[in-house]
A and B are shown apart, each in its own frame.
Chain A
Amino acid sequence: MVNVRSKFVQGVIVAFILLSLPSLAKRPEFQLILKNHLFYPAEIEIPANTKVKLIIHNQDQTPEEFDSFDLNREKVIFPQKKAVIFIGPLLPGRYEFFGEFNPNSAQGAIVVKSSKLNAKVNQNTLIDATALSSNSPDKPVTQQALVKELNRAD
């Protein structure tokens, strides 16, 4: 009986290790900022058929819950903290998300583009984050600039 039980436990552990192997892979990262109950950028473009890591920074003084029925994801983000979720692989299309605690204001979408090339270009595409960048309100920033700014803040 003990032998059967230990074999069962071993089996469960092996199954878990096999199932979690994909998590060892390095995923492309995308940043998202929540400020004044609004997501910046409101739209993020990601490549189709690729799993990506989404890092959400909550710069508000209240908690928020990132929620998406299209993506089947929900995650609480504490004030002045970041949260990490993985999304995809997805087919090309538009997948909406919202802040469950402020659903009327905190809204956004993940736009999945068909080719990796497109998404790579889009990572450098100018995004309108004028409300976010208090230092230079007239100057739009790129996703890379956003990452730099966040790293500096950390």
Chain B
Amino acid sequence: MLINTIILFLRDALPIFVISTILISLLQHQGIKPIWYFIAAGVSVIFSFLLLTAIDDISHTIDSTGREWLYACLYIICYFIALVLLMQLPKMQGQLSTRQHWNICLCAGSLMVIVITLNSANFLIYITGYWFQNNASNVLVAGVILGGGICASIAVLLYFLMAFIERYCRVIAQFLLIFFSAGLLMKATNLLIQIDILSSERFLWDSNHIIIENSELGQLLTVFVGYDATPTMLQLLLYLSAIFIAFGLMFLPTVISKQSLTITLPKEAA
């Protein structure tokens, strides 16, 4: 039970630690203090318990597919929030207006609230379901502490790795946010396929023989880039479109502003 608790904790908590690290690092670069994070974390705790009490009833709505609908819709919303956040970020440091400041905090905060709420409600179902079974509480607490330690270590490593890579690639946090949010979109498509809303043709490939989805590396890749060992054509197309749209929105304003600069400069000179 201890190992199972650690595995389940890692599965549900790792995305929270990863997105926290990415967003804290991203907003720190814009000179935003992490007060937004503490507020978001507090709100998430309340929402998680609210969701935990309601999830049983939600699950049984819409012909027992309510939970999938809720999670898929919120994951899709997460992707769009990430897009808005990327669009709000100024291209040059020190250009942040008050409105942009609040917009960025709001986007980052709501992204955090959704991710924490959905993931922690998942884990709370397990904890609350088995807490009173055969005096399992000690094992569950030990599992959470060990899992928390592993997640915290990964988050700290990621933070310093990002700080190192930023010397060579300034937009590493943005890149990670794009892949993370595209991964959430993949989760949403999986849920919609599971309840027969999206059509599920055969898997395009099965890369389980290269990287097993259930392995440690597989889990890490799932969190960071939305790795799926058995994707369908529809999922692949949606994933690639999601990434291209996000990169387009990130780089297009820079390209347009550069072009307008080259057009206006000679006129000004004349």
Name the interface size band of chain B.
35 or more
A3–B202 Cα distance when bound, in Å, is 38
Asked if A73 is an interface residue, CB under 8 A from chain B, the answer is yes
Contacts of B199 in A (CB 8 A): 19, 21-22
Contact code string A97-125 (vs B, CB < 8 Å = 1, else 0): 00011110000000000000000000000
- Judge whether A76 and B122 touch: CB under 8 Å: yes
- Judge whether A20 and B198 touch: CB under 8 Å: yes
- Judge whether A91 and B129 touch: CB under 8 Å: no
Question: Which of chain A's residues 36-91 have a Cβ closer than 8 Å to chain B?
Answer: 51, 53, 62-63, 65, 69, 72-73, 75-76, 78-79, 81-86, 88-91
CB distance from B157 to the nearest CB of A (A): 26
**Given A62-B133, A63-B126: A81 and B60 interface contact (C-beta under 8 Å):** yes
A135–B88 Cα distance when bound, in Å, is 65
- Judge whether A89 and B125 touch: CB under 8 Å: no
Contacts of A22 in B (CB 8 A): 196, 199
- For A101, give its contact among B4, B190, B195 (CB under 8 Å): B4
**Given A62-B130, A85-B195: A69 and B67 interface contact (C-beta under 8 Å):** no
CB distance from A14 to the nearest CB of B (A): 15
- Judge whether B126 and A84 touch: CB under 8 Å: no
A109–B133 Cα distance when bound, in Å, is 27
Contact code string B200-229 (vs A, CB < 8 Å = 1, else 0): 111100001000111000000000000011
Tell me if B's interface is mostly helix, strand, loop or mixed: loop
- For B230, give its contact among A51, A72, A85, A86 (CB under 8 Å): A72
23 contacts between A and B (CB under 8 A): A19-B198, A19-B234, A20-B197, A22-B199, A23-B197, A51-B196, A62-B129, A62-B130, A65-B126, A69-B214, A72-B190, A75-B68, A76-B55, A78-B59, A82-B64, A84-B63, A86-B193, A86-B194, A86-B196, A91-B202, A100-B8, A101-B126, A101-B129
Given contacts A19-B199, A69-B213, A79-B129, 20 further A-B contacts (CB under 8 A): A19-B234, A21-B199, A23-B195, A51-B196, A51-B200, A62-B130, A65-B126, A72-B230, A75-B68, A76-B55, A76-B125, A84-B65, A84-B195, A86-B193, A88-B200, A89-B200, A89-B202, A100-B8, A101-B130, A103-B4
Q: List chain B positions with a Cβ less than 8 A from chain A.
A: 4, 8, 55-56, 59-60, 63-65, 67-68, 122, 125-126, 129-130, 133, 190, 193-203, 208, 212-214, 228-230, 234
